[in-house]
Amino acid sequence: MSRRVMSLIMLKNNPNKRQADIASELCVGHSTLKRWYKKYREQGFDKFVERPKIGGSKSNIPAHVHLALEEKLRSATDPLLGYWQAVEWVRDEFGLEVKYHTLRQYLITNFRTKMKSPRKSHYQKDEQAIEAFKKTAGYTQAD
Residue type, 129: A
List the single range of 8-17, 82-91, 102-111, 119-128 with lowest mean pLDDT.
Answer: 119-128
Nearest to 81 by CA among 60, 107, 99, 105: 107
Domain assignment present for 30: yes
The mean pLDDT of the chain is 85
Determine the structural domain holding residue 98 and report its residue range. 63-111
* Number of domains observed in the structure of the chain: 2
Same domain, 67 and 107: yes
What is the average pLDDT across 112-116? 79
Quote the CA–CA distance of 108 and 103 in Å, as a whole number. 9
Task: Give a yes or no: residue 85 inside a domain.
Answer: yes
Q: What is the distance, to the nearest Å, from the Cα of residue 76 to the centroid of all Cα atoms in its chain?
A: 27
Q: What is the pLDDT of residue 66?
A: 94
Say if residues 65 and 94 touch (Cβ distance below 8 Å): yes
Q: Cα–chain-centroid distance for residue 1?
A: 27
Q: Are 83 and 104 in contact, with CB atoms under 8 Å apart?
A: yes
Distance (Å, whole) CA 57 – CA 21: 39
Is 21 a domain residue? yes
Q: At what angle do helices 83-94 and 63-74 cross, to 10 degrees?
A: 130
68 and 36 in a common domain? no
pLDDT at residue number 80: 85
68 and 104 belong to one structural domain: yes
pLDDT number for residue 139? 61
Residue 95 domain-assigned?
Answer: yes
Is 44 found in the same domain as 82?
no
Q: What's the pLDDT tens digit per position in 21-76?
A: 999 999 999 999 999 899 989 999 888 888 777 776 778 899 999 999 999 988 87
C-alpha 18: how far from chain center: 43
Q: What pLDDT, on the 0 to 100 scale, is given for residue 127?
A: 81
Q: Is residue 125 part of a domain?
A: no
143 pLDDT higher than 60: no
Assessment of whether the complete model's pTM goes beyond 0.75: no
Q: Is residue 8 part of a domain?
A: yes
